[in-house]
Amino acid sequence: MAKIVCVLYDDPVNGYPKSYARDDIPKITKYPDGQTTPTPQAIDFVPGHLLGSVSGELGLRKYLESNGHTLVVTSDKDGANSRLDQELPDAEIVISQPFWPAYMTAERIAKAPKLKMIVTAGIGSDHTDLQAAMDRGITVAEVTYCNSNSVAEHVVMQMLSLVRNYIPSYNWVIKGGWNIADCVERSYDIEGMHVGTVAAGRIGLRVLRLLKPFDVHLHYMDRYKLPDAVEKELNLTHHTSLESLTKACDVVTLNCPLHPETEHMINDKTLKNFKRGAYLVNTARGKLCDRDAIVRALESGQLAGYAGDVWFPQPAPQDHPWRKMPHHGMTPHISGTSLSAQARYAAGTREILECYFDKKPIRNEYLIVQGGKLAGVGAHSYSAGNATSGSEEAAKFKR
């Protein structure tokens, strides 16, 4: 029987919920491209409940233990002698999240001789050294598309919050003020602006569709050109380089995966090509951006605002400069872990486990690495190599 180690974020500070704001969530069976939502044989949780924290356990305990497996759930993943490191030597499967990533470095993989599979409960497997996984023949899988729409909604929300100067205005209310001039001195309409996405996959394309009713001019950069019918429907302008896109756009959103080719793609040099006063939204991965270059661009006015919910490392240390830089709208990594999204990524994680234990093929859409090479969606979206270097800084975070 297998030992599964599951690393999830902590419960709410006031304890696991005894009730919820809503009684249910909408039931979705298909995504916009026709892919079906996760289809496990059964689930042992209530959709809309908190599943992504330690007490939620992704709803997996009953299923795994009834089949004779051992499930260890922890949030202790960083620093010397973490619970994760203690459990690795006899772990067959490690499950983690993008929001509270267990960085599966080459060193950790070497500590786990029995490890056969690493699963992301969500989207994005950059917290795993993919090259080390390939070298060891370890399968890497994620629940592709489970929270793409959730992230896209967050992108649009943060775009509007930056352009309309929402957060400072809200804070004046909290302070008891009525400071209209202070609120609107940095507030604009997004109507008529040029908005572009770096990558137009599941998330990027959904962002473009959500933005169309705002009467903005839409742009995208992607190695794969969208079908002519989609370009015509959304009146899209395609760009073949980051420089071309950023010179044209007032608002830029990053929606590409992190791998060695995209690491620090936004830096001092590339930021010079942005329009002065542009806005940048990043819900993809923090390491797409040079951390200190973003701070400098906000302080100089080259960027009018930066928002997102991804950092590097995660959780971000208390002294991470993005916590205090000017004109930001940062949140913890929450865009893809709404209660709606959790129901899908928990079900998808169970589907992957069922396939593994029943020796059935895992969906191609869920595969990142298999058989010593990039596979499935991983072959489409990632490059070989490692993007986990520097992740040890996560141990500086203090709860």
Q: Is 261 annotated as a binding residue?
A: yes
**Tokens found for residue 232:** 């015509």
Active site residue ranges: 147, 285, 314, 333
Q: Is 368 annotated as a binding residue?
A: no
Q: Is 291 annotated as a binding residue?
A: no
Half-sphere exposure (Cβ direction) of 396: Cα atoms closer than 13 Å: 11
Neighbouring C-beta atoms of residue 65, cutoff 10 Å: 12
What amino acid occupies position 213?
Answer: P
Cα separation, 131 vs 166, whole angstroms: 42
Q: Is 87 annotated as a binding residue?
A: no
112-115 contacts: CB < 8 A, separation 24 or more?
Answer: 112/88, 113/89, 114/3, 114/89, 114/90, 115/88, 115/91
Q: Is 250 annotated as a binding residue?
A: no
Cα separation, 284 vs 198, whole angstroms: 10
Q: Is 309 annotated as a binding residue?
A: yes
Q: Is 336 annotated as a binding residue?
A: yes
Closest by CA position to 29, among listed 347, 374, 380, 376: 347
Q: Is 244 annotated as a binding residue?
A: no
Q: Is 300 annotated as a binding residue?
A: no
Phi-psi domain of 264 (left: phi exceeds 0; alpha: psi -120 through 50; beta: other): left
CA 73 to chain centre: 21
Q: Is 109 annotated as a binding residue?
A: no
Q: Is 348 annotated as a binding residue?
A: no
Q: Is 260 annotated as a binding residue?
A: yes
> Binding site, residues?
123, 147-148, 202-203, 222, 257-261, 283, 309, 333-336, 381
Binding residue positions for NAD(+): 148, 202-203, 222, 257-261, 283, 309, 333-336, 381
Enumerate the known binding-site residues for substrate. Answer: 123, 147
